[in-house]
Amino acid sequence: MKFTEEHEWLRPEDDLIVVGITEHAAEQLGDIVFVELPEEGTTVSKDEEVVVIESVKAASDILAPIDGEIVEVNDVLANDPGKVNEDPMGDGWFFKIRPSEPSQMDDYMSEAEYKDMIS
Amino acid sequence: MSDAPQDAPLTRLKLHDLHAELGAKMVPFAGHEMPVQYATGVMKEHLHTRAAAGLFDVSHMGQVILKGADPETLALGLESLIPAAVLGLGQGRQRYGLLTNEAGGIRDDLMFANRGDHLFVVVNAACKAADISHMREALGGIEVVEITDRCLLALQGPGAEAALAALAPEVAQMRFMDVASVTLAGAEAWVSRSGYTGEDGFEISVPAEAAEALARALLAQEGVLPIGLGARDSLRLEAGLCLYGHDINEETTPLEAGLGWSIQKARRKGGARAGGFPGAERILAEVESGPARLRVGLRPEGRAPMREGVALFDGETPVGAITSGAFGPSLQAPVSMGYVPTALCAVGTKLAGELRGRMAAVTVDSLPFLPAQFKR
Q: Taking residues B225-254, what's their average pLDDT?
A: 98
Q: Give the 3-state secondary structure of chain B.
A: CCCCCCCCCCEECCCHHHHHHCCCEEEEECCEEEEEECCCCHHHHHHHHHHCEEEEECCCCEEEEEECCCHHHHHHHHHCCCCCCCCCCCCCEEEEEEEECCCCCEEEEEEEEECCCCEEEEECHHHHHHHHHHHHHHCCCCEEEEECCEEEEEEECCCHHHHHHCCCHHHHHCCCCEEEEEEECCEEEEEECCCCCCCCEEEEEEEHHHHHHHHHHHHCCCCEEECCHHHHHHHHHHCCCCCECCCECCCCCCCCCCCHHHCCHHHCCCCCCCCCCCCHHHHHHHHHHCCCEEEEEEEECCCCCCCCCCEEEECCEEEEEEEEEEEECCCCEEEEEEEEEHHHCCCCCEEEEEECCEEEEEEEECCCCCCCCCCC
In the prediction, which pLDDT does B62 show? 98
B229 touches chain A (CB under 8 A): no
Mutation target vs A (from B48, B327, B331, B354; most A CBs, 10 A cutoff):
B327
Min distance A33 CA to chain B CA atoms (Å): 7
**A12: CB partners within 8 A, 6+ apart:** A1, A18, A105
Q: Which of A34, A56, A81 sits opposite B234 (nearest CB)?
A: A56
CA dihedral over A69, A17, A84, A56, signed as positive or negative? negative
Residues of B in contact with A36 (CB under 8 A): 304
What is the percent of chain B with per-residue pLDDT over 90, rounded to a whole number? 97
Looking at the predicted structure, is the pLDDT value of residue B2 above 50? no
Task: Calculate how close chain B gets to A109, using CA atoms only, in Å.
Answer: 28
**Contact with chain A for residue B376, Cβ under 8 A:** no
Task: Please tell me the CATH code under which domain B11-60+149-238 is placed.
Answer: 3.30.1360.120
User: What type of residue sits at position B79?
Assistant: E
Interface residue A80 vs chain B (CB under 8 A): no
- The predicted model gives B215-233 an average pLDDT of 97
Confidence at residue B11, expressed as pLDDT on a 0 to 100 scale: 95
- The distance of B97 to chain A (nearest Cα, Å) reads 29
Does residue A14 have a pLDDT over 60?
yes
| Residue range B120-166, pLDDT digits in tens | 999 999 999 999 999 999 999 999 999 999 999 999 999 999 999 99
Interface test with A, best of B37, B49, B234, B303 (most A CBs within 10 A): B303
- Chain A residue numbers touching B302 (CB-CB < 8 A): 34
* CA B254 – CA A28 distance, rounded (Å): 38
pLDDT of residue B7: 62
* CB contact (8 A) between residue B304 and residue A36: yes
Residues B208-225: what's their mean pLDDT? 98
Half-sphere exposure of B171 (CA within 13 A, CB side): 27
| ipTM of predicted complex | 0.82
* Span A15-72, pLDDT tens digits: 999 999 999 999 999 999 999 999 999 999 999 999 999 998 888 999 999 999 999 9
**Are the C-beta atoms of residues A10 and A1 closer than 8 Å to each other?**
yes
Q: How far is A49 from chain B (nearest CA, A)?
A: 11
Q: Is A34 on the interface with B (CB under 8 A)?
A: yes
Residues of chain B contacting A31 with CB distance shorter than 8 Å: 41-44, 329
Average pLDDT over residues B318-334: 97
Q: Do B305 and A36 touch (CB under 8 A)?
A: no
pLDDT at B221 over 50: yes
Residues 318-347 of B with CB under 8 A from A: 326-327, 329, 334
What is the Cα gyration radius of chain B? Answer: 20
Mean pLDDT of B255-275: 98
Contact at CB, B43 and A56, closer than 8 angstroms: yes
Domain with CATH 2.40.30.110 in chain B: 292-376
User: Which residues share a beta bridge with B207?
Assistant: B150
Write the class of the CATH domain A2-101. Answer: mainly beta
Nearest to B33 by CA among B1, B9, B11: B11
| Position B1 pLDDT exceeds 60 | no
In chain B, whose CA is at the least distance from the CA of A85? B41
Q: Does A112 touch chain B (CB under 8 A)?
A: no
Please check if B79 is assigned to a binding site: no
For the cut 70, the answer to whether the pLDDT of residue B5 exceeds it is no
Do residue A30 and residue B37 have CB atoms under 8 angstroms apart?
A: yes
Q: What's the mean pLDDT in B280-286?
A: 98
A30/B329 touch (CB, cutoff 8 Å), yes or no: no
Q: Say how far apart CA A21 and CA A19 lie, in whole Å.
A: 7
Inter-chain contacts counted by CB atoms under 8 A, chains A and B: 42
- Residue pLDDT, tens place only, B63-122: 999 999 999 999 999 999 999 999 999 999 999 999 999 999 999 999 999 999 999 999
Euclidean distance between CA atoms A31 and B248, whole angstroms:
28
CA neighbor of A62 nearest in space, from A97, A109, A21, A99: A21
Q: Which CATH number fits domain B292-376: 3.65.10.10, 3.40.50.1370, 3.90.850.10, 2.40.30.110?
A: 2.40.30.110
Q: Do A56 and B307 touch (CB under 8 A)?
A: no
* B43 and A CB contact within 8 Å: yes
B326 contact residues in A (CB cutoff 8 A): 56
Q: What is the mean pLDDT of chain B?
A: 96
> Do the chains contact at A81 and B303, CB–CB below 8 Å?
yes
Residues of chain B with CATH 3.30.1360.120: 11-60+149-238
Q: Are the beta carbons of B243 and B197 closer than 8 angstroms?
A: no
Contacts of A52 in chain B (CB under 8 A): 304, 356
Give A12 to chain B, closest Cα distance, Å.
30
CB contact under 8 A, A56 and B230: yes
Residues of B in contact with A30 (CB under 8 A): 37, 41-43, 230
Backbone angles phi, psi at B254, to 5 degrees: -55, -40
Read off the pLDDT of each residue in B12-30 and give the average, rounded to a whole number. 96
